[in-house]
Amino acid sequence: MFIILYIAIIYLMLLFIIYFLFLGLIVGSFLNVVILRYNTGYSLSGRSGCFSCGHGLAWYEMIPVASYLVLCGRCKHCHSRISRQYPLVEIFTGLLFALTAWRFYPNMSAVLFYCLILSLLVVVVVYDLKHKIIVDTPVYAFILLSVMSPAILNWKNALSTEVGFQIFLNLVSGAVIFLAFFSLWYFSRGRWMGFGDAKLGFGIGALLGFSGSVNAVVLAFWFGALVGLSLIGLGKIKSLKSFRRKFSIKSEIPFAPFLVLGLLLSLFANISILVF
């Protein structure tokens, strides 16, 4: 009897994870639209179409990942190449949703909350990689949700003194991380850190608390330094001429992906560099 119950629980959990995997693929498709149309003047409600020929896409041309593979990465009408961003963002979002479902199962409120948080961060990261700019709207939404997370996750007692105190602590933690990044941005005149990174740091501090956010930031700097030094090293190889033109010691490397990576490692893997 115990074995049957255990198998049933595992089966339900797998269905739960698979459901959020496919939900993440669909949401990732929408996030691609947000990323590509943000600050372009295009409405998010407009019909999707090829950026080269403008032809409107049929429903079977917009199936996450599958349509890209069936079409071999090219537009059906003009045969222009479709950006790899589409399937990569869809797959990445799907995996994040599945990971969230596994981490917080069976707490549906927590799963939905963190899926929303991660959707905002996907937009921030991909847009920063493309344009080296951290956009305000998703970051401000991320900050608001992070600060209010105790009330959202414990909505039945949202007006309690304990929840109010937790929100206050989130504000303080976020402000401390923000001021640390703001100082780097201000005194370096933007050479070491962008102001957008400071705003993103506020959200991370509010979401993870002081201890968790410090660990996330330390991990972000470690990975950022490792990747930066690796790119500079590859840029010095004479045979990689095109690579040398792209990366040097003066190259600007987006930091938002590393901050989000540090957040993910702290949130899902409970990796703790500092203990206090």
In the chain, where are the structural domains located?
1-106, 108-276
Helix (H) or strand (E) holding 167: helix 161-187
Q: Which of 238, 233, 196, 204 is nearest to 220 (CA)?
A: 204
Percent of the chain topping pLDDT 90: 59
Hey, what are 171's tokens?
């504000």
Residue with tokens 């005149």: 189
Q: In the prediction, which pLDDT does 188 show? A: 87
Coil vs helix vs strand at 159: coil
Higher pLDDT, 208 or 275: 208
pLDDT band at 41 (very low <50, low <70, confident <90, very high): low
pLDDT digits (tens, 9 = 90+) for 65-114: 998 998 888 887 787 888 899 999 999 999 999 999 999 999 999 999 99
pLDDT band at 37 (very low <50, low <70, confident <90, very high): confident
Look at 52-56, 91-95, 164-168 and tell me which has the smallest mean pLDDT: 52-56
Hey, what are 38's tokens?
């943000």
Residue with tokens 């690796």: 230
What is the rounded CA–CA span in Å between residue 57 and residue 119?
Answer: 24
Q: Which of 132, 68, 198 is nearest to 60 (CA)?
A: 68
Q: In the prediction, which pLDDT does 243 show? A: 52
What is the rounded CA–CA span in Å between residue 248 and residue 127?
Answer: 22
Q: In the prediction, which pLDDT does 246 show? A: 59
Please list the helix, strand and coil fractions of the chain in percent, rounded to the nearest 5, in that order: 70, 0, 30
pLDDT at residue 144 tops 80: yes
**Taking the chain, what is the end-to-end CA distance rounded to the nearest angstrom?**
44
pLDDT digits (tens, 9 = 90+) for 202-247: 999 999 999 899 999 999 999 988 987 887 777 666 555 555 555 5
Percent of the chain topping pLDDT 70: 89
For 17-40, letters b (16+ CB in 10 Å) and e give beebbebbbbbbbebbbbbbebee
What is the rounded CA–CA span in Å between residue 35 and residue 82?
Answer: 15
Higher pLDDT, 18 or 62: 18
Q: In the prediction, which pLDDT does 261 show? A: 96
Q: What is the mean pLDDT of the chain?
A: 88
Q: In the prediction, which pLDDT does 273 show? A: 74
pLDDT band at 117 (very low <50, low <70, confident <90, very high): very high
Q: How many Cα neighbours within 13 Å face the side chain of 51?
A: 11
Higher pLDDT, 42 or 4: 4
Residue 96's contacts (CB-CB under 8 Å, 6 or more residues apart) are: 24, 115, 118, 122, 264
Mean pLDDT of 107-133: 96
Q: In the prediction, which pLDDT does 241 show? A: 58
